[in-house]
Structure 1
Amino acid sequence: MTTNSSKYNITVIGAPGVGKSAITLRLLYQEFVDDYEPTKLDSYQTMMDYQGQDVDVQITDTAGQEDYASVRDTFLRSGEGFLCVFSLTDSDSYSHIEELYNQVKLAKSMEPPQLPFLIVGNKSDLESSRQTKTEDAQRFAESLGVKYMETSAKNNENVTEAFQFLIGMLVESRSAETAPIESNTGKKKKKKNGGIKRFLCGLA
């Protein structure tokens, strides 16, 4: 059973080499691809479970497009929810997150909680090479008003959960836009803001 016929568009962004494609391909094919060659832009369509119902999801992997401003602006404007990935073993990729976050806010003219945006620290399996502490990333995410998760594409840890959480944000965001509420005059009007249902444990 599907929730509706609409697609939920998720765009995977982040600095080069952080594992954006590895996370996407792990989700889609349950395989770990370590030597993926980035192309101009890869888009996939799949069905995912959200609270027991199937939803139609389009995933755009932006691998290879980070340095092309015109292309980047296009997929930021067309994106609906954003999975912003950095590598826990690369502090430079972590420092790149705020710039990407600001680019998304500017492109969408939105801020949290209306903006579906999730920060993901990938390569949690490489603990001995970790350069970003979990608590530091959590505090940073909180300062931006967004949530944070850690994943391992290699070990398939929290990959599906990250996408499911973002889908939940998109479902709630659309519901908030269309749900009628009573105004002071007794007339119904569209609800502008809605809370995000947090259905995953372990999110900071």
Structure 2
Amino acid sequence: MAASNKTTAVYRLIMVGSGGVGKSALTLQYMYDEFVVDYEPTKADSYRKAVMLDGEEVQIDILDTAGQENYAAIRDTYIRSGEGFLLVFDVTDAESFSDLTDLYEQILRVKNGGTNIPAILVGNKIDLAERRKVTLDEAEQKARTWSIRYIETSAKTKHNVDKVFCELMRIVRPFKNPVRDPGPAAPRPTKSPKTKKDRKCIIL
């Protein structure tokens, strides 16, 4: 039995982006394996689940911002509570792409972290390739400017949905334990067949 004093790490991730880009669809697809069309939350929704991240059991806590996100002061509160950010835009909507610049600058301002913020730029709705307005080159250039990764997703087909959440937790991880007591080298379940099979996070 694992030692009871081992605290499960909680990763607080914030979904950021304009309305309609698929923040909720990505979250619900990751959490429940279902694609929800026309989901329009009027308030921020928080989701939490236990997952295996590279052999360690952790909690992922996703805040899906919506509704009041147009109010900068409320956004500040969300941002302050977050450890990592998925900056989501719709590849068929150029305005949603340009909107992220202000949001990213707000994150930098609130977090006071220079440019070293755990974040991933996410281009969603790549299943709608024929309607695409933002090119891969444009998105990758923006991510390079911000010194973050760019990943394309489809909430509808689940393409790269697990990947963006797993990768963001991995980016956040070094920020969570900056040389704390040497103890957190958690008991690694090296014999777990799940862990050996794939290193991505597995929802428990």
| Bucket of the pairwise TM-score, normalised by the shorter protein | 0.7 to 0.9
The residue that corresponds to 1:29 in the other structure is 32
Q: Report 1:1-204 matches (<5 A).
A: 4-113=7-116, 115-175=117-177, 177-178=178-179
Q: Distance in 2 between matches of 1:54 and 1:127?
A: 36
Alpha-carbon offset, residue 24 of structure 1: 0.3
In the TM superposition, structure 1's runs of 4+ consecutive aligned residues that sit over 2 Å from their partners are none
Query: Offset at 1:179?
Result: 5.3
Q: Deviations over 1:168-190 (max 9, x none)?
A: 01112223x2258xxxxxxxxxx
Aligned residues: percent identity? 41
| Per-residue CA distance 1:147-188 (angstroms, 9 max, x = gap) | 11000000000011000000001112223x2258xxxxxxxx
8 Å contact from structure 2 (residues 91, 134) kept in 1: yes
Moved more, 13-22 or 40-49: 40-49
Superimposed CA distance per residue, residues 119-171 of structure 1 (whole angstroms, 9 cap, x where no aligned partner): 10000100000001112111111011111100000000001100000000111
Checking the alignment, whether the CA contact within 8 Å between 2:49 and 2:61 is kept in structure 1 is yes
Counterpart Cα distance in 2 of 1:106 and 1:154: 33
C-alpha deviation, 1:4, in angstroms: 4.4
Q: The residue matched to 1:178 in structure 2 has which SS?
A: coil
Question: Does 1 or 2 have the higher relative contact order (CA < 8 Å, sep 6+)?
Answer: 2
Give the 3-state SS of the residue equivalent to 1:66 in structure 2. helix
Whole-Å Cα distance in 2 between the matches of residues 94 and 168 of structure 1? Answer: 25
Q: Which residue of 2 aligns with 1:188?
A: none
Shift of 1:49: 2.5
- The one-letter amino acid of 2:128's match is L
Q: Distance in 2 between matches of 1:57 and 1:129?
A: 33
Matched residue of 2:8: which SS?
strand
Q: Is the 8 A contact 2:28 2:34 kept in 1?
A: yes
Give the deviation of 1:98 after TM superposition: 1.3
Structure with the higher strand share, 1 or 2: 1
What count of residue pairs does the alignment treat as equivalent? Answer: 180
Structure 2 gaps, min length 5: 182-198
- Alpha-carbon contact 2:25-2:39 (below 8 Å) kept: yes
Residue in 2 that maps onto 1:185: none
SS at match of 1:8: strand
The CA distance in 2 between the partners of 1:125 and 1:4, in whole Å, is 40
Q: Distance in 1 between matches of 2:114 and 2:55?
A: 29
